[in-house]
Amino acid sequence: MTETVKIISPIDGSVYAERAAASWAEIDAAVSRAKAARRGWGEVTVAERAKMMGHFVDALLAMNEEIVPELAWQMGRPVRYGGEKRGVEERARHMIEIAQASLVPVEKPEKAGFWRYITREALGTVMVIAPWNYPFLTAVNSIVPGLMAGNTIILKHASQTLLAGERFAQASQQAGLPDGVFQNLVLGHADTEKLIGSGAIDHVNFTGSVEGGRRIEKAAAGTFATLGLELGGKDPAYVRADANLDHAVENLVDGSFFNSGQSCCGVERIYVDARIHDGFVERFVEAAKGWTLGNPLDAGTVVGPMARGSFADHVRGQTADAVRDGARRHLNGTHARDKAGSPYLAPEVLTQVNHQMSVMREESFGPVVGIMKVGDDAEAIGLMNDSPYGLTASIWTADLDAAARIGTRIETGTVFANRCDYLDPGLVWTGVKDTGKGGALSEIGYANLTQPKSYHLKHG
């Protein structure tokens, strides 16, 4: 019996789309096509790949009017935001632009009688396991540089956003990529793990939960496949006494509630200098009132439903536990659909919180943020590090030297000053602790998608 994968829309609980999962024979055939395509694709020059990948990006961007409502139906993001077009283009074009310099052989200093250099060669077949929260942005991080580096790609997209995988496949066809270079497969968890464990995959790039990352590592054990894992997060912000409050509030409200809080680097906890705490909270709560919940297909909706009711219930549980233990709710948002089991969850701001509460230490991945008063930099740093995760941290201050100094003491992959919830493709995207391993984008992203090879040639 053929397994099917269904997209249950958070808008109304209907089955938005349904696809048959690939059989093992189809999976095996895809692996064979990828392997057969590797040599030919590797012989294509970087300049020629760049031209084809430019067409790939053009084709993907041209679909945006169709993609935007598809995203709303699949994972709940309001149509007002226009999809992920701008970020996809920025990241993809940057990685295409720097490919030549990132992949060029490195000549070593002259040594009498020898010619020495290091090249970067494709790893082989790269499997990209993409998440539903930013189904295009997260996948582009690996697909574009992976292909530019000469790898073949097998994409397994999240069941919640299967149509994103199909859009990538359409773009691949329209760009004229050779057969087998890029393939999109609909897979269940068991076959995904079986494929990884088969030894046919040379690198896995996974974005998802910590538990999912552990399963990937377990499946890959003994295959010697390399891994890139971006897992959980609990990203903090620290607002110092000299911060521009209006700027900090505007950006931190957005960083907390955009995409219903379902952002890898969304702000989940805020520490504020005691001298400005009350004023910050007052402004933050007032600004947050404008982030109203509604149907994501309505142009006026600011916050849509979460992807699944179970995700919203997790956040409801964290909030209820915090309130029971003394936290104060400031919004008490109400909406006809905001009830147990529903993916519709209004944003919430909590104060009088502490690190005994799960809402301040464990991932929420939803529209709730805790704000906590701190006495100085040292206390803020200690609290920011009191988490098993480390993706990004933001510092809000007029003193960039202080931000850089504080940043050296924060256990995180990226340090922001006076901004948050953004990914600069010129910088490596990485995490520490339970957030994962490896790094995407920038020239380091290319290093992680290639194998170094040395040439030590002696003159005869």
Q: Which of 443, 48, 226 is nearest to 40 (CA)?
A: 48
Tell me the C-alpha distance between 82 and 385, whole Å. Answer: 35
Terminal Cα-to-Cα distance of the chain (whole angstroms) = 64
Q: How many residues does the chain have?
A: 460
Residues 6+ apart with CB under 8 A from 227: 203, 204, 205, 206, 216, 217, 220, 437, 438
SS3 122: strand
CA–CA distance from 132 to each of 85, 139, 164, 302, 415 (Å)?
A: 16, 10, 9, 19, 25
Q: Which of 240, 172, 226 is nearest to 401 (CA)?
A: 240
Q: Is 264 a catalytic residue?
A: yes
Q: Is 230 a catalytic residue?
A: yes
Tell me the C-alpha distance between 151 and 141, whole Å. Answer: 14
Q: Which of 84, 264, 268, 348 is catalytic?
A: 264
Sheet holding 226-230, edge to edge: 182-185, 152-157, 125-130, 203-207, 226-230, 436-437
286: left (phi over 0), alpha (psi -120 to 50) or beta: alpha
Place of tokens 């521009």: 244
Tell me the C-alpha distance between 15 and 17, whole Å. Answer: 6
Q: Which of 230, 268, 348, 363 is catalytic?
A: 230
User: HSE-up of 176 (CA within 13 Å, CB side)?
Assistant: 7
Return the active site residues.
230, 264
